Amino acid sequence: MEDLKSFLIEKVLLFESDTLSSDTEKVLGQVRREKPAQPVVYLSSGTSSLIAGSARTYSAIENYISENALEAKLISVGCTGPANFEPLVCVHIPGKNKLFFRNITEEKVEPLLNGVFHNDINEDDLAGQTGTKGFELWPGIPFMDEHPFFSNQKRVVLGNCGCYDPESIEEYIARGGYRSYVKAIRHYTYDEVCDIIEKSGLRGRSGGGYLTGLKWKHALNTNANARYLICNAKESDPGAFTDRTILESDPHRLLEGIAIGAYAIGASNAIIFIRSGSDHARNRLQRAIDSAREFGLFGHDIFSSGYNLDIVIKKEPGAFVCGEETALINTLEGKRGMPQLKPPYPTTAGLFGKPTVINNVETLMNVPLIMQNGPEWFRSLGTENSPGTKVFAVAGKGRMSGVVEVEMGTSIRTILEDIADGIREGKDFKAIQLGGASGSFITSEHLDLTIDFDELRENGIGMGAGGFVIIDENTCMVDLVRYYMEFIRNESCGKCIPCREGTGRMLEILESVIRKPLNEESGTTLERFKGVMQLETIASVMKDTSLCGLGQTAPNPFMSALKNFRDEFEEHIFDRKCRANICRGLRSFSIDVEKCTGCTACASKCPVNAIYGTRLQPFFIVEDKCIGCGICFDICKFSAITVK
Amino acid sequence: MSTDLDTIIKKYKQGKREDLIPLLQEIQEDQGFLSEEAIVKTGTFLGLSTTKIYGLATFYDKFRFIPAGKIQIKICHGTSCFLNGSQSIINRIKEETGINPGQTTRDGNFSYEIVSCMGGCNNGPVITVNGEFHSHVKAEQLPELIKKLKYVIDND
Rounded to two decimals, the ipTM of the complex is 0.93
Share of chain A above pLDDT 90, in %: 67
| 8 Å CB contact of B20 and A334 | yes
Give A318's contacts in chain B (Cβ within 8 Å). Answer: 60-63
User: Of the ranges A109-113, A626-630, B8-12, which one carries the lowest mean pLDDT score?
Assistant: A626-630
Instruction: Compute the nearest-CA separation of B77 from chain A (Å).
Output: 7
CB B78 to CB A393 under 8 A? no
Instruction: Please give, rounded to a whole number of angstroms, the shortest distance from the CA of A438 to a CA of chain B.
Output: 12
Do A328 and A141 contact (CB within 8 A), yes or no? Answer: no
Distance CA A555, CA A536 (A): 9
Q: Is the peptide bond before A498 cis (omega within 30 degrees of 0)?
A: no
> Do A54 and A102 form a contact (C-beta atoms < 8 A)?
no
Largest CA distance in chain A: 89
pLDDT at position A296 is 95
Distances (CA, A) of A95 to A98, A577, A595, A628: 9, 63, 62, 61
- Nearest alpha-carbon partner for B137 in A51, A483, A606: A51
Summarize the confidence of residues A67-71 as an average pLDDT: 91
Tens of pLDDT, residue by residue over A400-454, are 999 999 999 999 999 999 999 999 888 999 999 988 888 889 999 999 999 999 9
User: CB distance A245–B119 less than 8 Å?
Assistant: yes
Residue in B18, B82, B114, B122 to test binding to A, most A beta-carbons within 10 Å? B122
**The pLDDT value given to residue A578:** 87
Contact A402 B122 (CB under 8 A): yes
The Cα B6–Cα B15 span in angstroms is: 13
B39-46 average pLDDT score:
93
Q: Say if CB A346 and CB A339 are below 8 A apart.
A: no
**Mutation to test the B interface, candidates A45, A47, A48, A333, most B Cβ within 10 Å:** A48
Choice between A458 and A438, residue whose per-residue pLDDT is larger: A458
Q: What distance in Å separates the CA atoms of residue A386 and residue A379, rounded to the nearest whole number?
A: 9
pLDDT in tens, A233-262: 988 888 888 999 999 999 999 999 999 999
A571: three-class secondary structure by DSSP:
helix
A578 closest CA partner among A525, A521, A644: A644
Quote the pLDDT of residue A106. Answer: 92
Residues in chain A: 644
Task: Quote the pLDDT of residue A153.
Answer: 95
What's the confidence (pLDDT) of residue A604? 86
- Alpha-carbon gap, residue A68 to A81, rounded angstroms: 31
Q: What is the pLDDT of residue B2?
A: 60
Q: Is the pLDDT of residue A517 over 80?
A: no
Residue of A nearest to B127 (CA): A51
Confidence category of residue A1, pLDDT binned at 50, 70, 90:
low
CB pairs under 8 A between A and B: 126
Q: Which residues of A touch B118 (CB under 8 A)?
A: 47, 51, 241, 277
Nearest chain A residue to B116 by CA distance is A238
pLDDT recorded at residue A326? 94
pLDDT of res. A119 = 81
Does residue A639 carry a pLDDT above 90? no
pLDDT digits (tens, 9 = 90+) for A187-210: 999 999 999 999 999 999 887 789
Taking the CA of residue B30 and the nearest CA in chain A, the distance in Å comes to 15
Residue A333 to residue A355: CA distance in whole angstroms: 14
Residue A352: closest C-alpha in chain B: B18
Q: In chain A, whose CA is at the least distance from the CA of B95?
A: A607
Check residue B88 and give its pLDDT.
Answer: 87
Confidence band of A521 (pLDDT split at 50, 70, 90): low
Q: How many angstroms separate the CA of residue B106 from the nearest CA in chain A?
A: 24
**What integer pLDDT is reported at residue A117 of this predicted model?**
86
How much is the pLDDT for A592?
A: 87
Considering the entire predicted model, what is its pTM?
0.93
Question: Smallest Cβ distance to A319: which of B20, B59, B95?
Answer: B59
Q: Is the pLDDT of residue B1 over 70?
A: no
* Amino acid (1-letter code) at residue A288: A
- Predicted local distance difference test score (pLDDT) of residue A262: 97
Average pLDDT of the residues in A27-49 = 92
Q: Which of B71-75, B97-101, B117-121 has the lowest mean pLDDT?
A: B117-121
Return phi, psi of residue A63, to 5°: -60, -45
Q: Given a cut of 60, is residue A475 above it in pLDDT?
A: yes
Of A318-332, B43-57, B132-146, the range with the lowest mean pLDDT is B132-146
Q: How confident is the model over A136-187, as pLDDT tens digits? A: 888 888 999 899 999 999 999 999 999 899 999 999 999 999 999 999 999 9
Interface contact flag, B119 A244, Cβ < 8 Å: yes
Nearest CA in chain A to B55: A336
Mean pLDDT along residues A478-504: 93
CA distance B16 to chain A (A): 9
Q: The dihedral of CA A564, A565, A570, A573: what is its sign?
A: negative
Distance in Å, alpha carbon of A532 to nearest chain B alpha carbon: 24
Distance CA(A17)–CA(A15), nearest Å, equals 6
User: Residue range A85-99: average pLDDT?
Assistant: 91
Rounded CA-CA distance A401/A426 in Å is 16
Question: Cα–Cα distances in Å, from A391 out to A363, A454, A472?
Answer: 10, 17, 22
B123 to A467: CB separation less than 8 angstroms, yes or no: no
